[in-house]
């Protein structure tokens, strides 16, 4: 998968983090970094329109699973939100998580939960199947960059998404 960075600044840890997440997890349609609130916003796309009941069930299952994970890890997240937006034939589901308590394993859990709950209609980018070694390297990069973002104060509002096999990152 190719990636492009649109902006004048050097490639930073936050840009690299967004790129790595999109490369590692083709189920994530887009991702935003909000430095003011120190949030990552993950967007998943469902091919179809989910009803209010289906959204409520999905929200309950995913948010409660994330809360249980954090309880087991002795963490107290500041933000765990799930919202959605419906367009003509798609439902875009956004999970907001504070960067300060987020770890790579939780991102993997979120993606797996979406695979389980809306697998057949989860919109994913088709790509070459990476090797297990490549997946481990991407996961280690994600964890490393998350730790760097926690330690530094980033001020670039970033938006990343896939388009025709490429990852595009924009500085908003």
Kindly indicate the confidence band of residue 170, based on its pLDDT and cuts at 50, 70 and 90: confident
pLDDT of residue 96: 97
Residue-range domain boundaries for the chain: 2-171
| Cα separation, 38 vs 160, whole angstroms | 16
Does residue 11 carry a pLDDT above 60?
Answer: no
Q: What is the pLDDT of residues 110-155, one digit of tens each?
A: 999 999 988 788 888 776 666 777 788 888 889 988 988 887 766 7
pLDDT of residue 40: 95
Q: Are 59 and 23 in contact (CB under 8 A)?
A: no
- In sequence order, what E strands does the chain have? 2-6, 28-34, 39-47, 80-86, 90-98, 158-163, 166-171
Does residue 93 carry a pLDDT above 60?
Answer: yes
Average pLDDT over residues 19-32: 92
Q: What is the pLDDT of residues 56-79, one digit of tens each?
A: 999 999 999 999 999 999 999 999
| Cα separation, 21 vs 97, whole angstroms | 14
Q: Which CATH number fits domain 2-171: 3.40.50.980, 3.30.70.2860, 3.30.160.150, 3.40.50.12280?
A: 3.30.70.2860
Taking Cα atoms as reference points, which of 114, 99, 97, 101 lies closest to residue 62? Answer: 114
Does residue 2 carry a pLDDT above 70?
Answer: no
For 116-142, the DSSP string reads: HHHGGGB---------HHHHHHHHHHH
Pairing of strands 28-34, 158-163: antiparallel
Burial 84-123 (b: 16+ CB within 10 A, else e): beeeeebbbbbbbbbbebbbbebbebbbebbeebbeeebb
Judged by average pLDDT, the poorest of 80-94, 123-137, 152-166 is 123-137
């Amino acid at each position: 998968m190719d990636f492009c960075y649109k902006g004048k600044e050097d490639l930073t840890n936050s840009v690299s983090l967004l790129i790595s997440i999109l490369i590692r997890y083709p189920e994530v349609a887009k991702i935003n970094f909000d430095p003011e609130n120190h949030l990552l916003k993950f967007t998943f796309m469902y091919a179809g329109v989910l009803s209010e009941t289906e959204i409520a069930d999905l929200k309950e299952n995913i948010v409660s699973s994330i809360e249980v994970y954090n309880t087991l890890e002795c963490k107290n997240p500041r933000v765990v939100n799930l919202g959605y937006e419906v367009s003509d034939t798609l439902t875009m589901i956004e999970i907001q998580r504070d960067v300060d308590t987020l770890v790579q394993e939780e991102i993997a859990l979120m993606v797996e939960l979406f695979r389980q709950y809306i697998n057949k209609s989860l919109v994913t980018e088709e790509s070459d199947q990476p090797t297990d070694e490549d997946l481990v390297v991407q996961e280690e990069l994600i964890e490393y960059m998350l730790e760097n973002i926690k330690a530094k104060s980033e001020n670039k509002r970033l938006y990343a998404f896939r388009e025709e096999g490429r990852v595009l990152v924009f500085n908003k």
